[in-house]
Amino acid sequence: MSVQQGKRVLEIEARAIAALVDRLDERFAKAVDLLHGCAGKVVVSGMGKSGLIGQKIAATMASTGTPAFFVHPADGIHGDLGMLARQDALLAISNSGETEEVLKLLPFMERFSIPVIALTGKVHSTLAKNSDVVLDVSVSEEACPLGLAPTSSTTAALAMGDALAIALLQKRGFKEDDFALFHPGGALGHMVLLKVQDLMHQGNAIPCVSAQASALDAVREMTSKKLGMTTVVNAKGQLAGVITDGDLRRFLEKGNSLAKARAKDLGNKSPRTIQADALAAKALQTMEQFSITSIVVVDERNRLTGVIHLHDLLKNGVA
């Protein structure tokens, strides 16, 4: 019985969100333009459950490039309206459109020419009539069988808030790097903020031999640096190739001898490379794409600057 009740709730709330799709018209576009053009901050406000939804909407906007914060309407009319400025915009949430505390904010908004966007289930309410843009988030029924607890209506308001936040994100050209700056403690932030230069082996830690070095010297370098490879450079310090354990095995399988071979005769003369300021996540993507375990780091002149290994990425959580 409880499973059926749970399914009923989800179906009702899913229909509530689906119904919003056909309501997105020029009013939604106007709301996005208004918020995008706001020189100040987006102030979100709502009472009770609408207020909780408003806090989430404000947090989503703030983390996706739209400066926003939540003001409780009751606190607002008792002094917190001082946080608002003339260049701000108000996103007011009220299913009935008649919430007393929210309506008491409107004279202040008018006095300071602060535009108001309403998320309401009653498009002819007092809030709607006194707003610059009205977004209809009405629902045909609440999931609560008594029709009392806000359920479908708060879900619809939350979904509309997400739609606004993501539309603003795209309009601002917000990228993964930007998101990471606001989430430095999260897994995505860690991945996106880390650069190749933060993890690569540098200086004497780079396995490196000259193109004219003997094959045995190349083997010794690979053994001492413990990365299963060595770079090969020309007289100008430019990358001329890479020798891996696999390259040595393939060389020997062909009946060749390492005794007289030179480093330039071994390995891959056109290895995969990356620059130091590239994302560490990009290095991982390249390794996975080409089934390799290390990438050589070069500068714009193809001069050797480092080596990054798969283990370096895994140890630092870039996976």
Which residue carries 């989800």 as its tokens? 10
Tokens 């375990």 belong to 293
Q: Please give the pLDDT value at position 81.
A: 74
> For the chain, which residues score pLDDT lower than 70?
78-80, 148, 175-193, 319
Q: The domain 2-174 belongs to what CATH superfamily?
A: Glucose-6-phosphate isomerase like protein; domain 1 (3.40.50.10490)
Residues of the chain with CATH 3.40.50.10490: 2-174
* pLDDT tens profile 239-255: 999 999 888 889 888 88
Taking the C-alpha atoms of residue 41 and residue 131, their distance in angstroms, rounded to an integer, is 17
What percentage of the chain reaches a pLDDT higher than 70? 92
pLDDT given for residue 186 in this prediction:
54
Whether the Cβ atoms of residue 135 and residue 94 lie closer than 8 Å to each other: no
Q: In what order do the strands lie in the sheet with 304-309?
A: 273-274, 294-298, 304-309
Whether the CB-CB separation of 8 and 58 falls below 8 Å is answered with: no
What backbone phi and psi angles, to 5 degrees, belong to 114? -95, 115
Of the candidate CATH numbers 2.60.40.3880, 3.10.580.10, 1.10.1510.10, 3.30.70.260, the domain formed by 196-315 belongs to: 3.10.580.10
> Where are the strands (E) in 59-166, listed by range?
68-70, 89-94, 116-120, 133-136
Q: What is the pLDDT of residue 13?
A: 92
DSSP 194-246: -BHHHHSB-GGGS-EEETTSBHHHHHHHHHHHTSSEEEEE-TTSBEEEEEEHH
Residues of the chain with CATH 3.10.580.10: 196-315
Backbone angles phi, psi at 80, to 5 degrees: -75, -10
What pTM was estimated for this model as a whole?
0.63
Q: What pLDDT score does 170 carry?
A: 86
Give residue-wise pLDDT tens across range 59-93: 999 888 888 999 999 887 766 677 787 899 999 99
Please count the helices (runs of H) and the strands (runs of E) in the chain: 15, 11
Q: Which helix (H) or strand (E) holds 274?
A: strand 273-274
CA angle 159, 165, 166 (to 5 degrees): 90
